[in-house]
Chains A and B, each alone.
Chain A
Amino acid sequence: MKRLFPILSVLTAIFLAYALYLALVKAPTDALQGDVYRIIYYHVPSAWTAFLLFFINFIASVQYLASAKSSRQTAAKWIVIAVGVVGVVVTFLPQVQEQLKSFGMRPSALATTVVLIPVTYFLVGKWFPGERMDVLAVTTAEVGVVFCTIVLVTGPIWARPVWGIWWAPGDIRLTSTLVLWLIYVSYLILRRFSNSAQTQMLAAALAVFGALDVPLVYFSIWFFRTQHPQPVIGGGGSMDPRMLDVLLISWMAFLCFAFLVCWSRFRLELLHREVEQAHAMESLAGAEVRAGVSLPLNRRAQ
């Protein structure tokens, strides 16, 4: 296990370098935007990675909230199964399919996304039992915020030469992304500065509400008039297949990198809890020693 991390780090570095080469050299230049469009190869994969991490955070938070009571756990399990089944059935109804196609969405893609909810729920429950669920939640939230920060930084850098402005005030895609970032930053602040016994529960509840913003961010360009470009996948976008290949390779490279960062952050959180526990044990031992010394003195006073 100790050797695996450096090996994966080297492989990820090579993969990222290859993705960078493809993005800067191999991908064709955009006829309208020129080379500046290549920002997409960092901006879009970062956004998708952030969404994926927030999704895992949502699942881990729901699991954590449900784990407080066994009755709640059983109810959550059946709700998640129902969401998966109903979601898939609904996407194959002819009326819904027509509606989806009018938005340029593929019903099969939506059905796959819906199926991912119960699948991820059960995998997270199996692989991260008990306290590890909460560790996973804080890990994915923090790394997700880093990727979301990159989205918010690279977006305006692209917008300046293309739109002529850094930011379009009131644009729903931009505003909802900023709100999403603020929600998860507040989640991390809550976890960092609150010492209450209820902190983990409160943070999990906040994460559930925060995750509701993710579909709003993602689908805002389908349902609202926005200055943001139309989706490149699943939204009827007409991206050159060579550009699309580079985009997907770039995303894979960023996913590998995100996995390694999450792994490190997960280990860090476990170590942090170990240190906190050791501090608590030391304080307890100190208190016992003091009590042991003071007891005879008290008795003498009596």
Chain B
Amino acid sequence: MNAIKFLFAAYIATWVIHGVYVGTLVRRFGRLRRELKELGKGK
């Protein structure tokens, strides 16, 4: 039973890491798109 905890911990850790990374990608996309739009308006 105790070993199952480790199994789920490993699977959850994997998806948390992927989730955090994909989250940062989405955030960076949003920031860059905003910046590009502002630059376009400035012209």
Which positions in A face B, CB cutoff 8 Å?
A: 20, 33-36, 38-39, 42-43, 46, 146, 149-150, 153-154, 157-158, 160-161, 257, 261, 264-265, 268, 271-272, 274-275, 278-279, 282
Which positions in B face A, CB cutoff 8 Å?
A: 2-4, 6-7, 9-11, 13-14, 17-18, 21-22, 25, 28-29, 32-33, 35-36, 39, 42-43
- Assess the B7–A36 pair: CB atoms within 8 A: yes
> Could you say which residues of chain A place their CB within 8 Å of the CB of B11?
20, 39, 42
- Assess the A282–B39 pair: CB atoms within 8 A: yes
Interface centre among B6, B9, B13, B36 (most CB of A within 10 A): B6
| CB-CB under 8 A for A261 and B22, given A46-B14, A268-B28, A271-B32 | yes
> Could you say which residues of chain B place their CB within 8 Å of the CB of A261?
18, 21-22, 25
Q: What DSSP secondary structure best describes chain B's contact surface?
A: helix
Question: What are the 9 closest A-B residue pairs judged by CB atoms, nearest first?
Answer: A36-B3, A157-B10, A154-B10, A39-B10, A278-B39, A161-B3, A271-B32, A146-B21, A42-B14
**Number of inter-chain CB pairs below 8 Å:** 75
| CB-CB under 8 A for A35 and B17, given A42-B11, A272-B32 | no
Minimum CB–CB distance from B22 to chain A (whole Å) comes to 7
| 14 A-B pairs in the complex with CB atoms less than 8 angstroms apart | A36-B4, A39-B7, A149-B17, A150-B14, A157-B6, A157-B10, A261-B22, A265-B25, A268-B28, A268-B32, A271-B32, A272-B32, A275-B32, A275-B35
12 more A-B residue pairs beyond the given contacts A161-B3, A264-B25, with a C-beta to C-beta distance below 8 A: A33-B3, A42-B11, A42-B14, A43-B10, A46-B14, A150-B14, A150-B17, A154-B13, A154-B14, A157-B9, A261-B25, A264-B29
